[in-house]
């Protein structure tokens, strides 16, 4: 049994290990660290917007820096590394292999992330997580912008290395007795998202290089003054980052596929439709990137094509939801903390998806473009679905990682407060967008409706903030003082867990 | 589940294909752009109606089953898989 915190080892032994559970633990701790850092920035943003006028941040430039680093941190340094943590822990076990296919490459992929996180945080760029050109080329202050570009470049390489490892581990290292049709859905989710990364990331890697050379004045790809076109950057960026949304959401859905059958005390209703939906999402994720650019003068035909391409994701997403509903049907559901997070995640996934359907249609998109509707929609996906699935899975894997149980009551309070806070913040932001409030603004006119809705959203954010403090206390305290977990069945629901009890800790 | 998938695909074809055909039925002559806008708004409203109806049904189902299939419900009974190594 591998119980890192129960069986203490010198920290350097874990840090320099290449074993998949050790690398998984490093990913886990680092991603949670960045969750709290990025979350603190979110609270600063919401505190600033509580009332019109400068409140706590002082000036627009600092505000821009804060939301740029907030977005970059939570997407690239929390969500993706957290998924890697889960994948590192569980994928080798699920395909019945001793480790990842390339353990050293795996450790290298992890160790590329802290320097890139340092570049992003020490630079503290101000040009949004989209690195908006031509501002990012012409006047974004250096070296912050350049540090951000290098940070993202390193993160991209790390993602590609990690993805190669997952693909090879799943396809080439799975047990000979195991067909690809028997690989658990969580591992399938990693296969799907890794393939998306391998296809999508090189485009953004090229765009980053072009952005850098533009900043150096060598080229003018995206610089209108030199004949370039910022819209070209938008295409390159969204060709990578719309599929990237699925890279974020697919592993979270995979995690729900582990939790929901377990706590419903029955197998997943339809394994085949889960695989089908993952593969379908991976493909249609590439048919919708230009829906981010309806307002840039595209032709009607182009817009219609991308609208239909976007809507093609609906059946695939609905398949997952129907699968979860059918799995819970006739179950005997234990609402332990992981299950509460998973079911809450499904409900918010559906709400976020409904907002996406509305957003995909051109008429509404023109109304909501660059408003708080978009902020609400995106965050409802990222927080309501991806973070909910991830945090639920963290509670699920907690007994395995620490050998101890977390405090169940605190876990449930964490969920309830986060659910209420999420609804308050992000549902309200949808309405705020329909009332016309633009996104990415430091100050706003004292319109009574805007003030009221901003205050509701800020209060919701504070509720989430308090719940995250409870979460942190629970995690830290329980890892040392929690009740010892029953390693065979920590949640008392029976069945066969994919817990790596038999994983050994050899040095590779 | 296969029936559900089949039903969903049939509905998707019935809704999306005619709508796209309508959208492209208008020619490229000047003045017809407005017609397309009307068509696309029409498509939008139909999609939203479907999204909200399906959303209400699914959300209602989730809320009901969370209440009905919880282990503390008086009618809760063990699943056929309990006690096995499923």
**pLDDT tens-place string over residues A175-191:** 999 999 999 999 999 99
Residues 345-374 of A with CB under 8 A from B: 346-347, 350-351, 354, 357-358, 361-364
Distance from CA of B12 to the nearest CA of A (A): 8
- Residues of B with Cβ-Cβ distance to A276 under 8 angstroms: 5
- The reply to whether residue B1 touches residue A331, judged by beta carbons under 8 angstroms, is no
Residue-wise DSSP of A156-217: HHHHHHHHHHHHHHHHHSS-TT--GGGS-HHHHHHHHHHHHHHHHHHHHHHHHHHHHHHHTT
Show which of residues 16-75 on chain A sit within 8 Å of chain B, judged by CB atoms.
none
Question: Mean pLDDT throughout A278-305?
Answer: 90
Greatest alpha-carbon pair distance for chain A in Å reads 66
Q: Binning pLDDT at 50, 70 and 90, where does residue B33 land?
A: low
What number is the average pLDDT over the span B28-37? 58
pLDDT score recorded for residue B24: 64
Considering only CB atoms, B51 lies closest to which of A322, A333, A354, namely A354
**Contact residues on chain B for A358, CB-CB shorter than 8 A:** 44, 47-48, 51
Q: Please tell me which residue, B25 or A431, carries the higher pLDDT value.
A: A431
How many Cα atoms occupy the beta-carbon half-sphere of A167 within 13 Å? 14
A288 min Cα distance to partner chain B (Å): 16
Q: How far is B47 from chain A (nearest CA, A)?
A: 8
What is the reported pLDDT for A504? 43
Give residue A387's Cα distance to chain centre.
7
Task: Read off the pLDDT of residues A343-383 as tens digits, 9 standing for 90 and up.
Answer: 999 999 988 988 888 888 777 788 889 999 999 999 999 99
Closest listed residue to residue A118, CA positions, set A175, A76, A84: A76
Question: Chain A: nearest CA to B22, how far in angstroms?
Answer: 12
Cβ–Cβ below 8 Å for B85 and A496: yes
Give the domain ranges of chain A.
19-481
Q: Do A266 and B24 touch (CB under 8 A)?
A: no
CATH of A19-481, one of 2.40.37.10, 1.20.120.80, 3.40.50.720, 1.20.210.10: 1.20.210.10
Yes or no, beta carbons of A321 and B58 under 8 Å apart? yes
Scanning every residue of chain B, which has its alpha carbon at the shortest distance from the alpha carbon of A347? Answer: B59
**Best residue of A279, A314, A419 to probe chain B, by most B CBs closer than 10 Å:** A314
Q: Which of A44-48, A98-102, A358-362 has the lowest mean pLDDT?
A: A358-362
Chain B contacts in chain A segment 322-341 (CB below 8 A): 322-323, 325-326, 328-335
* The pLDDT of residue A501: 47
> How many angstroms separate the CA of residue B43 from the nearest CA in chain A?
8
Neighbours of B7 (CB within 10 A): 10
Residue A12, Cβ density class (10 Å: 0-12 exposed, 13-18 middle, ≥19 buried): exposed
pLDDT digits (tens, 9 = 90+) for A152-166: 999 999 999 999 999
**Angle between helical axes of A408-422 and A388-402 (0-180°, round to 10):** 160
């Amino acid at each position: 049994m591998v119980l890192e915190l129960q069986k203490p080892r010198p920290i350097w032994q874990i840090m320099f290990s290449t074993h998949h559970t050790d690398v998984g633990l490093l990913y886990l701790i680092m991603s949670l660290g960045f969750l709290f850092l990025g979350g603190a920035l979110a609270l600063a943003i919401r505190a600033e917007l509580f009332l019109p006028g400068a409140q706590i941040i002082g000036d627009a430039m600092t505000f821009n820096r804060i939301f740029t680093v907030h977005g970059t941190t939570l997407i690239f340094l929390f969500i993706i590394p957290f998924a890697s943590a889960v994948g590192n822990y569980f994928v080798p076990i699920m395909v019945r292999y001793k480790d990842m296919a390339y353990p050293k490459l795996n450790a290298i992929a992890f160790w590329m992330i802290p320097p890139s996180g340092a570049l992003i945080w020490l630079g503290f760029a101000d040009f949004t997580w989209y690195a908006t050109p031509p501002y990012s080329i012409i006047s974004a202050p250096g070296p912050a912008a350049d540090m951000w570009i290098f940070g993202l470049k390193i993160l991209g390489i790390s993602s590609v290395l990690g993805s190669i490892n997952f693909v090879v581990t799943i396809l080439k290292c799975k047990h000979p007795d195991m067909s690809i049709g028997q690989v658990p859905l969580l591992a399938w989710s990693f296969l799907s998202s890794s393939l998306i990364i391998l296809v999508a990331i090189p485009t953004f890697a090229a765009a980053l290089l072009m952005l850098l050379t533009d900043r150096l004045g060598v080229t003018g790809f995206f610089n209108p003054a030199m004949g370039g076109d910022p819209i070209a950057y938008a295409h390159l960026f969204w060709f990578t980052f719309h599929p990237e949304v699925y890279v974020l959401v697919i592993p979270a859905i995979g995690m729900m596929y582990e939790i929901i059958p377990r706590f419903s005390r029955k197998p997943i209703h339809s394994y085949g439709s889960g695989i089908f939906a993952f593969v379908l999402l991976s493909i249609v994720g590439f048919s919708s990137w230009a829906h981010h650019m309806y307002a840039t003068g595209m032709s009607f035909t182009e817009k219609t094509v991308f609208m239909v391409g976007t809507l093609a994701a609906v059946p695939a997403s609905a398949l997952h939801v129907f699968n979860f509903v059918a799995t819970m049907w006739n179950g005997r559901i234990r609402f332990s903390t992981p299950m509460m997070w998973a079911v809450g995640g499904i409900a918010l996934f559906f709400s976020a998806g409904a907002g996406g359907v509305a957003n995909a249609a051109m008429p509404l998109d023109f109304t909501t473009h660059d408003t708080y509707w978009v902020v609400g929609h995106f965050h409802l996906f990222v927080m309501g679905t991806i973070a909910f699935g991830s945090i639920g899975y963290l509670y699920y894997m907690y007994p395995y990682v620490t050998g101890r149980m977390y405090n169940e009551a605190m876990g449930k309070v964490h969920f309830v407060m986060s659910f209420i806070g999420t609804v308050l913040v992000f549902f309200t932001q949808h309405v705020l967008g329909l009332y016309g409030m633009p996104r990415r603004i430091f100050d706003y006119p004292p319109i009574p409706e805007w003030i009221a809705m901003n205050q509701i959203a800020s209060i919701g954010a504070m509720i989430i903030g308090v719940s995250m403090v409870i979460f942190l206390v629970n995690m830290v305290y329980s890892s040392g003082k929690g009740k010892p977990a029953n390693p065979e069945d920590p949640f008392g629901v029976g069945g066969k867990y994919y817990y790596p009890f038999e994983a050994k800790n050899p040095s590779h | 589940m296969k029936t559900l998938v089949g039903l969903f695909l049939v509905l998707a074809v019935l809704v999306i294909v005619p709508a796209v055909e309508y959208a492209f039925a208008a020619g490229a002559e000047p003045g017809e752009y407005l017609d397309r806008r009307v068509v696309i708004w029409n498509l939008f409203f139909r999609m939203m109606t479907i999204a909200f109806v399906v959303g209400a049904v699914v959300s209602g189902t989730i809320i009901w089953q969370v209440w009905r299939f919880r282990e503390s419900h008086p009618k809760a009974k063990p699943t056929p898989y309990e006690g096995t190594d499923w």
